[in-house]
Structure 1
Amino acid sequence: MSETSEKRTLVPHFVIIGAVIVVILAIIFWPSEEETPVAPEPEVVQPELEVPEEPEVFEPRTTPPPVELEEKDEVEPLPEPEPSEPEPLDVSDPAVKASLRDISTADDNMVNRIIVNVGLLQRFVVTVTNLANDEMAPNQSLLTPPEQSFRVYSQAGKQWIDAASYKRYTPYVDMLESFDNQALLSVYNTYKEDVQAKFAEISDSPNRDFNSVLLEAINQLLDTPEVPVPVEVYTDSVAYKYSDARLENLNEPQKQLLRTGPDNMRRIKAKLRELKALIESDGSQ
């Protein structure tokens, strides 16, 4: 109960108690009609027993003294309540996803469709850690796969990546750009403690600051070369590979970034540079 509510509860009680006290005093000192003095006989009158001032004695007591009532109305201030413990951070998948939806200008359906629903923080830590190590973790992806299939076309006896394959990733880039950079960094910092704890569980260097891992992963992607289109590929009956050995020798994250196409890759890199600058600035403060 708040102090104001407590006062509202106690004040009526004090008013009632004050009224009761006044009534009790009136009953004790105010004579009833049966006790009204009768004119005494002269021979038995005792001067010291005369009470000519009796009405004056009781008149002031018909109402409580103003000062007394004011004192009755006063209530000792209640001690300040102990500050309550802050609510624990909600690190559940719905809470994390809601945080991302809140800072995105994209349609909620797009965010819900593209971002997975299970293990978001865990997947984020594993994905970033693998990117920093030049590796991919397909089973730990943060995003749902594109609905369309990878497509190539044949020309002059060679196979080339179809531009339609690049368009599969445009909604993902649109969503990435829909996040306000400062707000995205704020969400990251909100969950940083839990992220750091998860990183410590899987890393050989548990005391390493996860920010450095994140920056290393960003740098890996920023180092991906930009190549002219069309891009020639070939298949070894298992998967498509880049015909250019320089591209095929890139690490897996970089080759994956190449598959988004030149325009999408430029947009992704621009966003990564902005986030990198914010993370570095935030860490230097």
Structure 2
Amino acid sequence: MRRHASTGSWIGAVVVVLAIVAGGIYLARKAMHPDISVPTAPAPSASAAAAPAASSVQHPIEQVQAGPAAASTAALPALGDSDANVAAALLALAGDSNLSSLLLSQQLVARIVATVDALPRHDGLAAFTLPARTPRGTFAVDQAGAVTHSGAANSARYAPYMRVVDAVDPQALVAWYVHAYPLFQQAYRQLGYPKGYFNDRLIVAIDDMLAAPEPAQPPAVVRSKAYYVYADPALESLSTGQKLLLRVGSADAARIKVKLRTIRSLLARRPVPVAPTPAATAG
């Protein structure tokens, strides 16, 4: 729930589901502590310093079974000229879900890659990396006796992003991702991983989010200066991606996890990890 001065918070039905949802949930961090400034430009190699070095490819894109669409022979644009092509593809995948009102129009692939790369970390997402516009509204809390927790009213602010999650067909998304993969791989190397493999990092991000705890009740939060933090230190210490799932609430988190498991089953050679046992009420 906390945002540092140099970071903010998180398209994909993964490449659309992960990052679009992250863009939606970024609002929670922004609304919870609006007086903390956000930088306007990234440090090119900042993420490289914290990420583990790749040893060998674990999930080669060539082995992804994505259906006939993956066999497309349409030429890809250069990464620097890919925004219009990528945006058109994502809008087509999302159908009538209103993605056009959320999607940013510049450096889309680079933003998606940087967002996915940051999700398993514990230092948040920089606002400048997000591929989607931040939602409107302010962060709401509810009071239950002496306990404060994220308010039920917040779900309305996440609704436009959840419509994108629901609208995207995982197999169609993965087929497009396989075709466009050279763009994502190039952007990942330019992010600071010359020997890295983006599909492996994507699987790491998905697995981390699938392992997010599932509290039976909305976790308690406490006020800390200009922002809220989770009252339970174990929850406050979770990765960026896992805390994002906590913020959307149990119902939306379950919908996201269903989509992520389907996408992962198409992208990875190894089985989807076992779902976590629901956690006890936090706080």
- Shorter-chain TM band: 0.5 to 0.7
- Over alpha carbons, which structure has the higher Rg? 1
List aligned pairs for 1:42-61, cutoff 5 A.
Answer: none
Q: Tell me if the contact between 1:132 and 1:214 (Cα under 8 Å) persists in the aligned partners.
A: no
> Does residue 140 of the first structure (1) align with residue 129 of the second (2)?
yes
State the 4+ residue runs in structure 1 displaced beyond 6 angstroms.
none
Match of residue 146 from structure 2: 157
Match of residue 172 from structure 1: 161
* Greater RCO, 1 or 2 (C-alpha within 8 Å, sep 6+): 2
Match of residue 99 from structure 1: 89
Gaps of 5+ in 1: 1-85
Match of residue 127 from structure 1: 115
Q: Tell me if the contact between 2:77 and 2:85 (Cα under 8 Å) persists in the aligned partners.
A: no
Query: Structure 1 residues 87, 267: CA separation in 2 closer, same or farther (over 3 Å shift)?
Result: closer
> Does residue 187 of the first structure (1) align with residue 176 of the second (2)?
yes
Q: Tell me if the contact between 1:247 and 1:255 (Cα under 8 Å) persists in the aligned partners.
A: yes
Match of residue 70 from structure 1: none
Match of residue 54 from structure 1: none
Deviation at 1:88, TM superposition (A): 5.2
- Per-residue CA shift, 1:228-268, capped at 9, x if unaligned? 22331111122111112221121222112210111000000
Cα distance in 1 for residues equivalent to 2:201 and 2:122: 12
> Does residue 198 of the first structure (1) align with residue 187 of the second (2)?
yes
Cα distance in 2 for residues equivalent to 1:224 and 1:87: 38
Cα distance in 2 for residues equivalent to 1:145 and 1:234: 24
Cα distance in 1 for residues equivalent to 2:143 and 2:76: 57
- Equivalent pairs counted in the alignment come to 195
Cα distance in 1 for residues equivalent to 2:217 and 2:258: 20
Cα distance in 2 for residues equivalent to 1:118 and 1:88: 17
Match of residue 19 from structure 1: none
SS at match of 1:127: helix
- How much is the aligned-residue C-alpha RMSD, in angstroms? 2.2
List aligned pairs for 1:53-132, cutoff 5 A.
Answer: 89=77, 91-107=81-97, 110-132=98-120
SS at match of 1:234: strand
> Does residue 247 of the first structure (1) align with residue 235 of the second (2)?
yes
Query: Structure 1 residues 241, 87: CA separation in 2 closer, same or farther (over 3 Å shift)?
Result: closer
SS at match of 1:159: strand
Cα distance in 2 for residues equivalent to 1:273 and 1:87: 30
Q: Tell me if the contact between 2:185 and 2:198 (Cα under 8 Å) persists in the aligned partners.
A: yes
Cα distance in 1 for residues equivalent to 2:173 and 2:114: 19
TM-score using structure 1 length: 0.63
- Per-residue CA shift, 1:63-115, capped at 9, x if unaligned? xxxxxxxxxxxxxxxxxxxxxxx7553653222111011122334xx111122
Identity, % of aligned positions: 29
The aligned amino acid for 1:266 is A
Cα distance in 1 for residues equivalent to 2:235 and 2:267: 29
Cα distance in 2 for residues equivalent to 1:112 and 1:156: 41
The aligned amino acid for 2:262 is E
Q: Tell me if the contact between 1:241 and 1:248 (Cα under 8 Å) persists in the aligned partners.
A: yes
Aligned with 2:198 (options 197, 210, 218):
210
Cα distance in 2 for residues equivalent to 1:230 and 1:207: 41
SS at match of 2:207: helix
Q: Tell me if the contact between 1:166 and 1:259 (Cα under 8 Å) persists in the aligned partners.
A: no
The aligned amino acid for 2:241 is P
